[in-house]
Chains A and B, each alone.
Chain A
Amino acid sequence: MALIMLIDDEKEAMKYYIKALELSEFDFIRFGGPDEVMDYVVDKNKPKPDLVVLDLIMPPGKRYKGKAECAAGTRTGYLLYEELRKPYSKVPFIVLTNLKNAKNDFQKIAPHVQVYLKNDVPPFDLIRFIHEILWDPGK
């Protein structure tokens, strides 16, 4: 069964996405910030995810604390993406965010990453997109 890694600090806002994942055929793990994610990534005993769903605005945690661009948490997801793309070079990413500029930004840094606004993509639509990426990548 495919493993989905969900990275988002907002529990309440993600409640229904998590419920939809529970109802789906996917396994998933959820992390609230960069510290937990990177602890998981460096552990070689932990399985690699088949897909990552990444939020962008999150608290910087200890890992990115002190970085000027992370002060308001607006760049945490971007920094995390830069760190994850190496160990997860073959893993597809979906960015799920409320940040309107995200599409433009990822167009420049990683055009293959799918960027969706939460307002436009309700939970079951997300499941459908994950399904398409994993099982119909040509679509």
Chain B
Amino acid sequence: MGGTEEKNMKIACQTILWGSRLVDPLDMFQTIYELGFQGVEICQPPSSLPAPSALRAIFEHLDLKFLGFYGGTLPARIEYCREYCPKGVRFKDWNKPYLCINDWDEKACRMALDDGFELALHPHMYYRNHRLETTSEILHTHPELMFLPDTAHLFLGHSDIIEAIKRHENRLSAIHLKDWTPKYGRSFHRYARGFAELGKGIIVLEEVLSTLKAMNYSGWIVVEQDSTERDPTTSCEISRQWLVDHGVAIAKRRRKEGIPELKFKPKEVRPPVKASSLMDTLMHVKDRETRFFWHNVLVEICRFVPCKLASLWEFSRTNGLLALLARYPSDVRPECPFVMDFREVLSGIAVESQGAVHLDPRRRYEARTFAHENLRETFKLSRMISIPVLNTYNINHVEMVINLYPKRKWLRVTDKQLALCAQYVAIAYEAFLEDQCESAASAVSLIATANREVKIFLDGVVRNLEDALNCEAVTIFLVDETEKKLESRATTGLEWDPPVAEAERFYKLGEGLTGRVWQSREPLLSINPGKEERYRRKSYEVTDSGLEASCLIAPLVDLQGSVIGVIRCVNKHAQRTPYEGNIFSERDLAIIDAVEQTMIPHLLVLLTEERRAKRLGRLTHELRAPMAGLRSAVDFVEYEAGEKHFEFDGPYIPDILSWHALANQLLDNVDFFRYRVEGSKPKLEPVLLLDDVFPRTLNPLMPLLRERGFSGSNITIHNDVGEQRLFVDEKQFQQVFFNLLSNAVKFAEVDPENFRVEVTTRKVDDEYQIVFRDWGNGIPQECEELIFEEGFRGPDAEQLNTSGTGIGLWVVAEIIKAHHGTIRVSHNPKPTELTIVLPKKIAEPWTA
């Protein structure tokens, strides 16, 4: 790779890697310079930066381009830039850095555009524009905007990165080159932890680079990584190296001497004096019962900010709702709303500001008012401090809001100290969430190791989710093979609306809320599903409460981004008291995401096995038709030979019939795979095992006996249960006997004189036993339990080159298990004795 294309592409570095608050900006810029980057996109808010003039001096000395500005509000950034503007240059004429925005805001954006700034629309997860289609709509509506595609956010939003670049190639401010690993899932709270150095994730960035080269792209590429577990310099170096390895020329440079001194000293923010017990509470988040934990956090905050009232709200970006987590005092009266729309209430201002805001609950702030009038009147509230708790890995995301209503006018704590406490709360919240996610995911792993069938696995998962999310009901739907239907596969209690015929009990793409989630690939959190667009109530979960108070519907997405199913949860239980905000939140989505990450690989394997078993079943079904034709034809050969008094020279008819019976018996074994995945139960009928069932196994055995030169008379039966009929599946027990006999024949000694099999039925202590003895080669001791595993073939089988697939004894064991019995090797060798024990209940009608 070489040529003029790479030389025209310019590479910049984004500063978020060094944290939201800079400690040593000079060192950071020096590092960026030394690694060969030509420009810088600044992500920290202006308040965290050195003075504009100082920054300008550094950039001029290092010849770094101030490419873009991301952090802080638009007005704050514009103000900073005004002061930054080089002396002697008119602000209007100055080649300004572009300003990144996540969405259009009429007032702020117009101000920036009027000042001659370039506004670059950046798609961002969990913002309105995270999908390419929405971004394109905004760009179409506002032709004055430029586009700043981000490879990771586009990938996470299931958008085509190449398509995004090509579609808007004439409006690119720059391109954020970012990688992502699915290690932490896609949920709101955790996805940002997955941003990784270039080449360390799953995004095919090579394709992006080659597309840019093919386009002769001569603009800027910005290397970005939101956070790192390494030190920032190392992460930057790794990303830089990836670019070099892929043909992008970035030459390292020597540290430049004579850099202007920077009088920048970030103020160290100390926690408030009485915050030590808050720290203690937060540190022990995992040890505390959740119901009391958040309340205790508020109690501790109120030690250093004495309050009349305090409340903690959990914010969900997906539906814009704030749900009450805790309040102080806990028994405050009168009652107040426990779920609020952030767009309508004062707390929403904190959600948008990213810093503590001081508000007057008596005032109206544009469209927002104080939500609890009765509380305001009762407690004479005149002051409110609303503090957002920001996601540690992505400061664009607000996770919670703390509302304080101080008793006194003057506080001994600063906003920065409050922000620091909020940061500690965020860390604790993430530890708490991490714990919940890991716990739910581990439970799924355990279920997966114990179960090899889709139905049983998913039954375990729904019960696990019901518990983990503390809700009333859960259903898992899966997309069928045709990809046209979404069918219920496991549920804690699902009903279909009566007019819906049995054959129509599935969702089509886009049908109802469930089909809508399948189509959009976006989760839905709703507190009133009946009012949602496309609500249909085609099916519903049966709950003890009888309510449809809230629901969470999330898509099941595999690594390729395809939706393979949908999880639906209803009615979250109240946490501590009935009147707390018991609605589904982003936290529940994070838990589901963690569960999905664990369950999907297992599920895909089980589904593949299930489909394979069904295909095998269809194959055996197809084979049975010609088998039946063969049988019919032989019937007529016998008939006509009899009619015409014709005698054959050999036992052709009996031979054909015995081969036919053997083939059918072997097909029954293959059919067992499908039988198992369909969850079929034994069909119980009263039979005499040795009198009725056993004789039918001898005909199919004949070809095998003839092959070895054995006589069927060496197979003897002893019936010690007399005329006792047992309620078993006759056909399945025929399979049991046949499989055991065929094994005995296969592994018998060579000398026909030594071939001997005895089958005994007896009753021992109320249980019924079938004891199967043969005098063959025996079973290696270490294989005595393994022989009942699917596909296992002992060393003898390989050595003697005997035919077989290793499923015979597995089928036997599964059939016995379905009859609630056991089978084991009770003596070995000579004879090799297998004992089947069936419970006493099979002597009476029972339900499998």
Contacts and interface: CB of A to CB of B under 8 A. Distances in A.
Interface of A: 10, 12-13, 15-17, 19-20, 67-69, 98-101, 103-104, 107, 117-119, 122-125
A67 B636 contact: no
6 contacts: A13-B628, A118-B624, A118-B632, A123-B635, A123-B636, A125-B635
Given A117-B628, A119-B628, 20 more contacts: A13-B628, A15-B632, A16-B629, A16-B632, A19-B636, A20-B636, A68-B504, A69-B502, A69-B503, A98-B624, A98-B628, A100-B621, A100-B671, A101-B680, A107-B683, A118-B631, A119-B624, A119-B631, A119-B664, A122-B632
Interface in B677-691: 680, 683
Contact of A104 (B503, B504, B625, B683): B683
Interface in B588-635: 621, 624-625, 627-629, 631-635
A77 B504 CA distance: 19
Contact of A16 (B502, B503, B635): B635
A98 B503 contact: no
A73 to B, nearest CB: 12
B639 A124 contact: yes
A99 B671 CA distance: 11
Nearest to A70: B503
Nearest to A100: B671
Contacts of A68: 503-504
A83 B668 CA distance: 32
Given A68-B503, A104-B680, A107-B683, A98 B625 contact: yes
Contacts of A103: 683
Interface of B: 502-504, 621, 624-625, 627-629, 631-636, 639, 664, 671, 680, 683
Contact of A99 (B503, B504, B621, B635): B621
Contacts of A119: 624, 627-628, 631, 664
Name, among A12, A20, A100, A104, the residue most crowded by chain B CB atoms within 10 Å (CB to CB).
A100
A17 B635 CA distance: 10
Contacts of B633: 16
A17 B664 CA distance: 20
A122 B671 contact: no
A104 B621 CA distance: 17
A86 B547 CA distance: 42
A119 B504 CA distance: 34
Nearest to A74: B621
B848 to A, nearest CB: 11
Given A101-B680, A104-B683, A119-B664, A16 B624 contact: no
Contacts of A67: 503
A16 to B, nearest CB: 4
- Smallest CB-CB A-B distances: 6 pairs: A118-B628, A16-B632, A122-B635, A68-B503, A69-B503, A98-B624
B669 to A, nearest CB: 13
A46 to B, nearest CB: 28
Nearest to A98: B624
B287 to A, nearest CB: 53
A118 B626 CA distance: 10
B631 A122 contact: yes
A15 B636 CA distance: 11
A47 to B, nearest CB: 28
Contacts of A107: 683
B635 A13 contact: no
A118 B624 CA distance: 8
Nearest to B629: A13
Interface centre among A16, A19, A117 (most CB of B within 10 A): A16
Nearest to A125: B635
A121 to B, nearest CB: 9
A121 B621 CA distance: 16
A98 B683 CA distance: 17
Contacts of A100: 621, 671
Q: Which of B503, B627, B633, B635 has the most CB of A within 10 A?
A: B635
Contacts of A15: 629, 632
B621 A98 contact: yes
Contacts of B625: 10, 13, 98, 118
A36 B501 CA distance: 26
B632 A17 contact: yes
* Most B CB within 10 A of own CB, among A68, A119, A123: A119
A19 B637 CA distance: 12
A51 to B, nearest CB: 19
B835 to A, nearest CB: 29
Contacts of A19: 636
Q: Which of B632, B633, B683 neighbours the largest number of chain A CB atoms within 10 Å of its CB?
A: B632
B629 A12 contact: yes
Give the interface centre of B627, B631, B633 by most chain A CB atoms within 10 Å.
Answer: B631
Contacts of B671: 100
Contacts of B664: 119
A99 B625 CA distance: 10
A20 B638 CA distance: 12
A20 B635 CA distance: 10
B2 to A, nearest CB: 58
Contacts of B634: 122
A12 B628 CA distance: 11
A86 B560 CA distance: 53
A17 B631 CA distance: 11
A4 B110 CA distance: 87
Contacts of B683: 103-104, 107
Contacts of A101: 680
Contacts of A118: 624-625, 628, 631-632
A107 B624 CA distance: 22
Contacts of B621: 98-100
Contacts of A17: 632
B632 A123 contact: yes
A17 B633 CA distance: 9
A20 B629 CA distance: 13
A100 B680 CA distance: 11
A89 B815 CA distance: 38
A48 to B, nearest CB: 28
A12 B633 CA distance: 11
Nearest to B633: A16
A15 B634 CA distance: 12
A68 B627 CA distance: 29
Name the residue among A19, A98, A122 with the largest chain B CB count within 10 angstroms: A122
Nearest to B506: A68
A42 B532 CA distance: 49
Nearest to B681: A104
A67 B680 CA distance: 25
Nearest to B631: A122
A83 to B, nearest CB: 16
B617 to A, nearest CB: 9
A119 B631 CA distance: 7
Nearest to B696: A120
Contacts of A16: 629, 632-633, 635-636
A28 to B, nearest CB: 16
A122 B683 CA distance: 23
B657 to A, nearest CB: 9
Nearest to B618: A72
